Amino acid sequence: MSISSEHKPLGKQVTGSLHMVSKLSPIVELNVGGEMYTTTLSTLKKHPGSKLAEMFTGQPKLRTDSEGRFFIDRPGTYFKYILEYLRSNQVPTQCIQDVYKEALFYDIEPLIKQLEDSPQIFGELVARRQFLARVPNYSENIELMIRIARAEAVASRQSSVIVCVVRTEEDAARCQDVLNSLDMDKKSVVKFGPWKAVPGISDLLDCIQMDVEAKGYKISFQPHVAEKGFRFKSHDFFYKFLFTWW
């Protein structure tokens, strides 16, 4: 019995659809930020709920380079650690902070959790960040410091920012009394604190320097020496942060 002609196009359409779904090779070549990798499709899809697995599920969702390799616009240097984990469950011991960022991007939950247990990430997330979360307006004050420093950088090699760091409500009141006595043309003073946590003033100063340097600035600090007209007794909560531009 012959098959009617109206059924033939349907058969071609089904075949074509099956071909589109299964066209990914089990061996996959990747270009990750200019670094070339070859791996298997099953490795990339090892954790089905991850963003990386989703990239290679169903129709390909990535563009290809001139050689036909799938292109991922991420730092290729750290993808080798991601790939090694997917292949052998080996948690990296190098470049922890950078690999953690990539694990977050690819949304590989088991790797994220294991990295968060490492001393480097644990210390940052649980210890330092939790401390800074108790310092009012910490992030905003960091940005304010940078804006002040940049405003003073015109035709200068260095610019300075005066910071008042107060740990207790009592020191905050003393600091405010000093600020109220300043002349209107005095430099802006950025105030940090008070906070309720074990780390002290020196710890916060280190955090400020660390976070400003993480944004690419060269910075140092020292206790502020009172200038004429800066009317206060010898307190230990005023500091000068020096930005060096060249």
Cβ partners under 8 Å of residue 26, min gap 6: 40, 41, 42
The 3 state secondary structure assigned to 201-227 is HHHHHHHHHHHHHCCCCEEEEEECCCC
Closest CA relative to residue 44, chosen from 80, 75, 87: 87
pTM given for the model: 0.67
Is pLDDT of 104 > 60?
yes
**Collapsed DSSP state (helix, strand, coil) of residue 105:** helix
Confidence of residue 11 (pLDDT cuts 50, 70, 90): very low
C-beta separation of 130 from 124 below 8 A:
no
Closest CA relative to residue 99, chosen from 79, 126, 69: 79
Is pLDDT of 12 > 60?
no
**Collapsed DSSP state (helix, strand, coil) of residue 96:** helix
Number of H helices and E strands in the chain, helices first, is: 11, 7
> Rounded to an integer, what distance in angstroms lies between the CA atom of residue 4 and that of residue 240?
88
What is the separation of C-alpha 71 from the centre of its chain, rounded to a whole number of angstroms? 22
Relative to beta strand 238-244, strand 158-165 is: antiparallel
Is pLDDT of 23 > 90?
no
Per residue in 163-212, pLDDT (tens digit) is: 999 999 988 888 777 777 765 445 578 999 999 999 999 999 999 999 99
C-alpha neighbours within 13 Å on the C-beta side of residue 23:
9
Per residue in 69-101, pLDDT (tens digit) is: 999 999 999 999 999 999 999 999 999 999 999
Task: Tell me the residue ranges of DSSP E strands in the chain.
Answer: 27-32, 35-40, 70-72, 158-165, 189-192, 218-223, 238-244
C-beta separation of 58 from 75 below 8 A:
no
Cβ partners under 8 Å of residue 36, min gap 6: 29, 30, 69
